[in-house]
Structure 1
Amino acid sequence: MPDPNAAILGDQGIQSEVLEGLAMAKNHRKWFVAFATPYLGDDPIEVSAGLGDYAAEWLEHTSRMTLTEADAGRIVALKERFADHPGVTVRELLLPSEVSGEHSAAISYNVLEHIDDDIGGLRTMRSLVRPGGHLVIVVPAFPFAMGPADIATGHVRRYTKKTMREALGAADLEIVKLHYANSLGLIGYYVSTCLLKQMPGPGPMVKFYDTTVAPLTRLMERGFRPPFGQSVIAIARRPLES
């Protein structure tokens, strides 16, 4: 299935189609929303919020949230979408940056794979949260699945648990949870984008994935952590002493 990555670099047309496909994938989104919900706290910040689809779900669990984007057009779109929500702040943020904050959590879904200096990006997110605050990171998994769709959407890498563990350690973050998710999605993504050379975007394949594959895979993975998946899920924490 199309990999719903929040695009930062790469072909803008394909990036827009990826975000539209993500907007269609409601079951997938609710599944992945749940990974971050327990760690939001009272004042989370989302790094690269895209069209704001995830944020709209998290705002059911927190009254205040900061949304960031590197793209000027998406900043405007986010401000328009959340204009009536008094607890939402929208701002520009590039990674890595020399910024700091006192947020309760920093959430980054499919962002680090676009950044050359991903450890610098993690350090920026670390500096945005208060000591003891959490980082919730989702990135695409397994370098063997890097194909034309990844390159077109600006990916410079895909991760494994090992490489994510190393990056989190280099950024002085404590690991709370680290696992793969969406095992069936990885198989579908590899076949469609690497073997069949299809580009991600809205359409029948996304609909089939979201109505059939995603609910089945989520149910399967409630009882066990698969040894592979389309995504690496990392929950990390800024040490209390820092």
Structure 2
Amino acid sequence: MADITGDQRIQSEVLEGLATAVNHRRWFVELALPYLGDNPIEIGSGLGDYAIEWAEHLPRFTATEADPDRLIQLKERMAGHPSIEVRQMLLPAQDAAGEYSAAVSYNVLEHIEDHVGALRSMSDLVRPGGRVIIIVPAFMFAMSQVDIATGHIRRYTKKTLGAAFAEAGLQMEKIHYANALGLIGYYGATSIFKMAPKEGPMVKVYDSLVLPVTKAAERIVRPPFGQSVFAVARTPH
């Protein structure tokens, strides 16, 4: 089994900071919703922010976490959400059973050494013809000390993520960059000013003023770059 590397304290600080970026989260929630089906599983749910929003639209949802301490926090938070089941899961998994309509994982694959094995495990969790939905950070030039501290092994392009999906036996259905202005802001903050994307006024200003403009523009024209790569692929029939 592959482990997810990185400083847990810094990971938690970043997760808590990004939890305040409500518009950003809702945008990425919307991206996956059409592909989730009726009973999806999320790999690496963290504090459960995405899980809670997705579960509002679905009859059943399974949230998972690999880190034992964060798993306890996740279970406590989900106690008030009866439609959400919580499981511990570390990828690649050996006991995957194809019972889910989709497997979704946001900002997790970049932590896993055997990312092709992780994608195969996600595929094995899903019914034949279901979807695997991924968001990962984009472009190696943006790899910063924040990435390293939070356990990022790599960042992706459409080409490198597509190659990993193909090697895992998944059929690509959709792949594109998202949040072009976010990449510029992230690179400036982390590589030039050496700041982490934690809770604070900069995150709030970006989320309330910049993000809505970016989202509206990218609905019209897909940008040639972005802070993230979004991908949807089908499992083999």
Establish whether TM, by shorter chain, passes 0.5.
yes
Is the contact made by 1:67 and 1:89 (CA closer than 8 Å) also made in structure 2? Answer: yes
SS at match of 2:220: coil
- Aligned-partner Cα distance in 2 for 1:184–1:228: 9
Partner of 1:128: 125
Superposed, which structure 2 residues align to 1:156-171 within 5 Å? 156-171=153-168
Partner of 1:111: 108
Is the contact made by 2:5 and 2:151 (CA closer than 8 Å) also made in structure 1? Answer: yes
Partner of 2:213: 216
- Aligned-partner Cα distance in 1 for 2:36–2:144: 33
**Aligned-pair distance for 1:86?**
2.4
Is the contact made by 1:14 and 1:201 (CA closer than 8 Å) also made in structure 2? Answer: no
Partner of 1:90: 86
Letter in 1 for 2:65: E
Instruction: Write out per-residue CA displacement over residues 4-33 of structure 1, whole angstroms, 9 at most, x where no aligned residue.
Output: xxxx42122211111111110000000000
- Aligned-partner Cα distance in 2 for 1:133–1:181: 23
- Aligned-partner Cα distance in 1 for 2:47–2:208: 21
**Are residues 1:66 and 2:62 paired?**
yes
Letter in 2 for 1:190: Y
Query: Pick from 129, 144, 149: which aligns with 1:152?
Result: 149
Query: Pick from 42, 45, 51: which aligns with 1:46?
Result: 42
SS at match of 1:201: coil
Question: Normalising to structure 2: TM-score of the pair?
Answer: 0.96
Instruction: Write out per-residue CA displacement over residues 116-166 of structure 1, whole angstroms, 9 at most, x where no aligned residue.
Output: 110011001000000011011000000000011100100000000000110
**Are residues 1:81 and 2:77 paired?**
yes
What is the alpha-carbon root mean square deviation over aligned residues? 0.9
Once the two structures are overlaid, the 10-residue window that deviates more, 40-49 or 72-81, is: 72-81
Query: Pick from 14, 17, 20: which aligns with 1:18?
Result: 14
SS at match of 2:123: helix
**Are residues 1:190 and 2:187 paired?**
yes
- Aligned-partner Cα distance in 1 for 2:9–2:75: 22
Paired residues, what number? 233
Once the two structures are overlaid, the 10-residue window that deviates more, 115-124 or 69-78, is: 69-78
Structure 1, unaligned runs of 5 or more: 1-7
- Aligned-partner Cα distance in 2 for 1:141–1:223: 21
- Aligned-partner Cα distance in 2 for 1:146–1:208: 23
Letter in 1 for 2:38: D
- Percent identical pairs in the alignment equals 62
**Are residues 1:180 and 2:177 paired?**
yes
Structure 2, unaligned runs of 5 or more: none
Once the two structures are overlaid, the 10-residue window that deviates more, 79-88 or 206-215, is: 79-88
**Aligned-pair distance for 1:87?**
2.1
Query: Pick from 221, 236, 239: which aligns with 2:236?
Result: 239
Is the contact made by 2:18 and 2:197 (CA closer than 8 Å) also made in structure 1? Answer: no
Partner of 1:5: none
